[in-house]
């Protein structure tokens, strides 16, 4: 993984003559820092970045709330049809996201949400894998803990908010980073939904640097480096929770 990233970083600092030099040169001579300023002026980088962050933050927060509650319901509660509904949830994991683009678009058009950020956000608020992940984690909590909480007067919601969630930081952080990365880098769904230039996301905006006959790969790589930075920052901020999650998996596996 580190080699493609270093090559992207190196290419982002080259001029157009160095891009296709043979043999390839990892060390740009000279460093062309103007690629970064040029890409930020060539497209509305700040506006697109704000749009992307707004959509990604909304989906991440919404998915953490909805999928953790759904996972809690499947893991700890009893209700008619639970196994069948969970089977349907697992079945959605076998459907490619590209297949759902047209049905989701038709639904959003019916709701008059085409070309809106809300229309991009709503279909992504829950997914089968996130629900499955949270359910499997909640199953690791001993039932004796829940029984003791009931004796202390905790109802199911109190047990969820006061006991499960405070002890689920590792899995929530893992799910948050996975969701953030997926939504931040998403291309097809925003491309289909957003038609107004001022509402585009970063991935869609960068695609407009590709010309009909030529492509500014130096600007593409500079934009890609700037786009991936928030994901790297989030990963390093939540790195300790990843380590904790791996340790817990090893102990319980």
Note the pLDDT tens digit of each residue in 70-104: 999 999 888 899 999 999 999 999 988 889 999 99
Q: Which of 180, 224, 199, 43 is nearest to 118 (CA)?
A: 199
Residues 245 and 150: their CA atoms lie apart, in Å, by 27
pLDDT of residue 1: 66
| Phi, psi (degrees; rounded to nearest 5) at 150 | -65, -40
Note the pLDDT tens digit of each residue in 102-159: 999 999 999 999 999 999 999 999 999 999 999 999 998 888 888 888 888 888 888 8
Distance set, CA 126 to CA 8, 13, 35, 59, 129 (Å): 32, 39, 38, 8, 9
Residues 74 and 203: their CA atoms lie apart, in Å, by 35
Predicted structure pTM score: 0.85
Contact 164, 72 (CB under 8 A): yes
Note the pLDDT tens digit of each residue in 152-207: 888 888 888 988 999 888 889 889 989 999 999 999 999 999 999 899 999 898 88
Domains annotated on the chain, with CATH? 43-252 (1.10.3720.10)
């Amino acid at each position: 993984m580190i080699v493609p990233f270093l090559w992207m970083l190196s290419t982002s600092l080259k001029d157009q003559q160095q891009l296709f030099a043979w043999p390839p040169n990892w060390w740009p001579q000279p460093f062309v820092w103007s690629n970064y300023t040029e890409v930020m002026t060539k497209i509305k980088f700040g506006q697109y970045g704000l749009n992307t962050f707004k959509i990604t933050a909304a989906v991440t927060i919404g998915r953490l709330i909805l999928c953790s509650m759904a996972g809690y319901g499947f893991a700890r509660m009893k209700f008619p049809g639970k196994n069948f509904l969970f089977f349907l949830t697992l079945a959605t994991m076998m459907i490619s996201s590209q297949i759902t683009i047209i049905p989701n678009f038709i639904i959003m058009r019916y709701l008059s949400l085409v070309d809106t950020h809300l229309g991009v956000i709503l279909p992504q608020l829950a997914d089968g894998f996130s629900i499955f992940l949270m359910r499997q984690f909640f199953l690791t909590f001993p039932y004796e803990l829940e029984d003791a909480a009931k004796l202390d007067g905790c109802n199911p919601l109190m047990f969820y908010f006061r006991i499960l969630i405070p002890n689920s930081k590792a899995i929530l952080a893992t799910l948050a980073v996975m969701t953030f990365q997926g939504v931040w880098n998403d291309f097809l769904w925003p491309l289909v939904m957003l038609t107004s230039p001022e509402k585009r996301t970063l991935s869609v905006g960068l695609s407009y640097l590709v010309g009909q006959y030529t492509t500014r790969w130096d600007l593409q790589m500079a934009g890609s480096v700037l786009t991936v930075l928030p994901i790297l920052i989030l990963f390093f901020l939540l790195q300790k929770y990843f380590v904790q999650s791996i340790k817990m998996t090893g102990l319980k596996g």
